[in-house]
Structure 1
Amino acid sequence: MKGVGVIRAVVTAGVGCGLVFGATQVHSTVSATRHWDVSPVIRTGSDGVVAATDLTCAGPDRAGAPGSTDTQQKVSMLLASAPSVLTSRATGAGSVTWSGASGQGGPVTLQRGGTGDVTIAGDSSGQAKASGAMAAGFSASQWTLDSSSTQRGLNLQQCGVPTRDAWLFGGGTDKGRVARLVLANPGATPVTVDAAVVGTTGVDATSSVHALVIPPGARKTVVLGALAATLQAPAVHVTSVGGGVVAALTDSWMSGETPVGESTSGPAAPAATSQVLPAVTVGAVAPQVRVAVPGASEAIVRVRAVNASGAVLDDQVQTIAAGTTAAITPTGLQAGTYAVQVTADEPVVAGALTRTAASGVSDIAWLPSATAVTGLAGLALPQSVPAGQSQLVLVGSAAGSAARVVVTTAAGTTTKDVALAAGRPTVVSVTGAQSVWVKTTKGSVYAGLVIQGKDSKGALIAEVPLAPAVEPDTGLSATAARY
């Protein structure tokens, strides 16, 4: 992004709103000792059926940011309702509404199993609320396609609920590379946020932000630019008190006059000794896996890349110091889609960077590690990606895992049962889909979506993990349990 100059941390405010996989924890009770617990934005009725689901999209990353003249930047918020075959207990009437800053918002016409979209404009987040029969299996995501001379990339991020502790991956020390962190507070009370920028040598105090107060219903943007050369493989650790925030990190990269790419991503799965990146795409450039060690002890980390045949094509081990990050580049990978598994003897967090070309105009995609799906997950797909092709990637967490894939298109709904092997990616083409849903039928699975396109300038790509959705009989999901 031009015109930023030597910016360390600039804040703007806007009003708007062996191969062993770790087990997934789904919390059904509130504990004051954990930073991710059942969120009050998920509500159930007396019959135990979820009655309302509130989801927040962080909104545009440039509107209102220092050095940006794009005050009316727009992003699309995609809304999806799971087909009734997946939410049979949710019966009766339901409704969907959304809201943003400056009077944006209103009711959304959305049928069961259907999709819809609204536009978030300017310095605003977007909140979507589904009530009644529409609350179960409700999903929201935001997407945009930037194609200007200074911003180019396909961005897709699933929206969610506030969290008090999140790790996000993106940015770098390359000249012309800027990371913008958007923090939205959809709650009714002020929230105080720390955003620590962590690299291979630890926390960089100059780039980090401390005690940032975000008023109720507001959002703030932290622009991270001109990172010190010593701040290699950066990750951003967001923590808050007084409530949670919804966070998104946009990595915008220019090399002189040439766009390298742009990607917006959300938080990685919480720190654990096993992380899965289910849908890492390899083309002309090897992916980069970033790993952070949040704890007080160093971690011995293993990174494995597994192809669709189940072959481990790269296996690297590295020791990473406590409170630091590292970048690990898998080697010897042919073009294709891989599951990358990160295991360690201490809890870690992870994300992977894909780049479509080594030089010239390209695009990038950040894939944060996924949360295991033990029930239902899904989202709506953007419909106007040029030459768009979409793939759903499923990875079983253990031998014998299985899932049902339900795809909605303009022609109707199709269902496919898929048997999964542990740690091995299974790729399902979902090109032309309006929405994609995964229902676990045995064990648990990790799911990711890859969307690729091509315009007159070159290739486009976005990768996103599928977050567990709220189910009708419990009102709980792993995503909804992070407030």
Structure 2
Amino acid sequence: MSDIEPTGDAIERDDPFVDQPDEDLREEREPITMRGVAIVGARVVTGAIGIGVAAVAIAAAALVPFPSVTSEAASELVIPVPTAQQLVCAGPVLRLSDDSGQAATQASPIGLPERASDSSSGSVATDALDQSDAGTGGTDAAPQVISTPPNEADPTERILLSGAQSQAVAEGDFVGLAAADCGVASADIWLAGGATTVGRTTLLTLNNPTEVPATVDLELFGENGLITAPGTSGIVVPPSGQRVLSLAGFAPEVESPVVHVTSAGGQVVAELQQSIVRGLVAGGVDIVGPTQSPSLETVIPGLVIAGGADIEENLGLGPGFEDLQTVLRVFVPGDAPADATIRVIPEDGVGTGTSFEFEFDAGRVQDVPIPDLADGSYTVRVESSVPLIAAARVSAAAGDSSDLAWLPAAPALSEIAPVTIAPGPSPRLHLANPTTEPVTVELAGSDGGEDATVEVAAGAAVNVEVEPGASYILTGFERLFAAVSFVDGGSIAGYVVRPPGVGSSSILIYP
């Protein structure tokens, strides 16, 4: 720090922010003349005139409207090339062996299913997939692709297509009834059902109806969480081809599998096929379709309890019969557990349902028994704090004969939906109304189906008898869930009703 202290003499006298000594104010000033006054006056007058002119100009600009110019961006309405609506029917029940019981790793078909289909355009074509791991490519035993052409005169017209199949099997260890709807190809599919424990065989079928190869990745989950196994990624499904894979090859001794299927390139239709044998007694067969993707609200219509007394008697036979119980299978993706409310609602208001709370762990599959349900039809509704997937397993029994059915969660229907009833025994259509208003569902029947009107109260569910092999178009609702069931003594099967496929629509393009 400097030792020099500032003094007044150090202050600059021409600093405008510092007071000057009085003597500085006594400087001589130049006297004001008449000419100076005149110059200053002229400058003031000129400035005032300029300001006035500017003000007038601004006011005039505000009063005079600018010309209005509008234009639209150049655009062109493009109508895509019409494409056919297309669904894939699963094909026959498969087993891992041939007719002689040899070739235990080779899938082969058992018999043929019965199919039905319908289109609002009146025309349905059927073609077999060209290739299959089951050796059925190009034959009636291959998965069948049903399609209907668009209206070439009006490509935006919505064509409604539906199809379904059923098969009663009675051959060796394979005894039961299997039914499935014909599904639309997708790049993201969830499957909940099956088991790979002793006496339980579960096959995964991947059907590619497209003209390009599909590369499929699998995520497998069980009661202990994620299952890591070789061969679950990069599975190539050829164009117009089917792959058949045993879940036990990826995950043996799993009681509660869930499979997440994703594909790149071509899209696929994926299903599970389960068969059960308990000792020397056949325990049923089923084809398991996709369940609804993770959701906060999950609805499973058409849960039918049949032969409850015989089921209870068979449950007492000992180990191996536990999976005759009615259960709800739930998987919560992600890291957060789900607080859920499960309601089991009697259809038509007949019988006693149940309701309970349950916390489902994240990342692992849980089977929750639903006990004490009397024979009848029910709808299961699950509301959860985080999205989850669910499916239900039911059994039917007549004496020592039993069968099973996996019922996936149904997707929500909006305003209109086509459904074909497979040619199975005693079919019934189940309708669940989740809204707070009653609805009147109109059934417009074709192929032997009669028109009908069905009242469904708010928050309720009903079921109606329908004709085997018939098709219907459902209207008269804003939001609805639906399924089809078949029960015949100790045989049971079912599938959900899905929304119609997306048709062509015009596209506005801006260059």
Tell me the TM-score normalized by structure 2. 0.70
Q: Does 1:144 align with 2:177?
A: no
Deviation per CA, 1:134-192: give whole Å up to 9, x if none: 98221122322211121112111111221121111222254210100100112222222
Partners of 1:421 and 1:185 lie apart in 2 by 40
2:332 and 2:388 in contact (8 A); partners too = yes
Query: Which residue is equivalent to 2:412?
Result: 372
1:288 and 1:328 in contact (8 A); partners too = yes
Query: Which residue is equivalent to 1:270?
Result: 293
Query: Which residue is equivalent to 2:345?
Result: 306
Query: Which residue is equivalent to 2:494?
Result: 463
Query: Which residue is equivalent to 1:98?
Result: 126
Query: Which residue is equivalent to 1:401?
Result: 439
Query: Which residue is equivalent to 2:228?
Result: 205
Cα deviation for residue 81 of structure 1 reads 2.1
In the alignment, residue 303 of structure 1 is paired with which amino acid?
I
Query: Which residue is equivalent to 1:237?
Result: 260
Q: Which moved more, 1:187-196 or 1:303-312?
A: 303-312
Deviation per CA, 1:75-117: give whole Å up to 9, x if none: 33624225xxxx5xx5xxx63322224599xxxxxxxxxxxxx
Q: Does 1:192 align with 2:215?
A: yes
Q: Does 1:290 align with 2:329?
A: yes
Gaps of 5+ in 2: 1-77, 98-102, 133-137, 152-156, 312-324, 507-511
Q: Does 1:52 align with 2:84?
A: yes
1:139 is paired with a residue whose SS is strand
Deviation per CA, 1:318-359: give whole Å up to 9, x if none: 222222111111222111000001111111111111111398
2:326 and 2:395 in contact (8 A); partners too = yes
1:95 is paired with a residue whose SS is coil
Cα deviation for residue 57 of structure 1 reads 2.2
Q: Which moved more, 1:290-299 or 1:435-444?
A: 435-444
Across the two proteins, how many residue pairs are aligned to each other?
Answer: 395
Deviation per CA, 1:407-446: give whole Å up to 9, x if none: 4464xx522222212332211112x443142423132111
Query: Which residue is equivalent to 2:182?
Result: 159
146, 150, 153: which one aligns with 1:128: 146
In the alignment, residue 301 of structure 1 is paired with which amino acid?
A
Partners of 2:354 and 2:144 lie apart in 1 by 41
Q: Does 1:67 align with 2:99?
A: no
* Aligned CA distance change for structure 1 residues 307 and 238 (closer, same or farther; 3 Å): same
* Aligned CA distance change for structure 1 residues 294 and 99 (closer, same or farther; 3 Å): same
2:115 is paired with a residue whose SS is strand
- Return the index of the structure with the highest Cα Rg: 2
Cα deviation for residue 228 of structure 1 reads 4.6
Partners of 1:324 and 1:449 lie apart in 2 by 29
Query: Which residue is equivalent to 1:422?
Result: 458
1:75 and 1:143 in contact (8 A); partners too = no
Deviation per CA, 1:216-264: give whole Å up to 9, x if none: 22211111238555x3322111122223211010111111111111110
1:350 is paired with a residue whose SS is strand
Query: Which residue is equivalent to 1:322?
Result: 362
In the alignment, residue 87 of structure 2 is paired with which amino acid?
L
* Aligned CA distance change for structure 1 residues 308 and 62 (closer, same or farther; 3 Å): closer
1:434 is paired with a residue whose SS is coil
* Aligned CA distance change for structure 1 residues 401 and 472 (closer, same or farther; 3 Å): farther
Query: Which residue is equivalent to 1:352?
Result: 392
2:442 and 2:453 in contact (8 A); partners too = yes
1:209 is paired with a residue whose SS is coil
Q: Which moved more, 1:355-364 or 1:437-446?
A: 355-364
Query: Which residue is equivalent to 2:72?
Result: none
Query: Which residue is equivalent to 1:214?
Result: 237
Q: Does 1:81 align with 2:93?
A: no
1:62 is paired with a residue whose SS is strand
Larger fraction in helix:
2
Cα deviation for residue 270 of structure 1 reads 1.5
- Taking only the aligned residue pairs, the percentage that are identical comes to 25
453, 456, 473: which one aligns with 2:488: 453
RMSD: 3.1
Partners of 1:207 and 1:355 lie apart in 2 by 33
Cα deviation for residue 404 of structure 1 reads 0.8
In the alignment, residue 433 of structure 2 is paired with which amino acid?
G
1:59 is paired with a residue whose SS is coil
Q: Which moved more, 1:155-164 or 1:374-383?
A: 374-383
Query: Which residue is equivalent to 2:6?
Result: none
Partners of 2:495 and 2:225 lie apart in 1 by 27
Cα deviation for residue 69 of structure 1 reads 6.8
Gaps of 5+ in 1: 1-44, 105-118, 476-483
* Aligned CA distance change for structure 1 residues 443 and 382 (closer, same or farther; 3 Å): closer
Query: Which residue is equivalent to 1:435?
Result: 470
2:92 and 2:113 in contact (8 A); partners too = no
2:86 and 2:147 in contact (8 A); partners too = yes
Bigger relative contact order, structure 1 or 2 (CA pairs below 8 A, ≥6 apart): 1
Partners of 1:273 and 1:202 lie apart in 2 by 21
Cα deviation for residue 275 of structure 1 reads 0.6
Partners of 1:120 and 1:316 lie apart in 2 by 49
1:56 and 1:160 in contact (8 A); partners too = yes
2:129 and 2:209 in contact (8 A); partners too = no
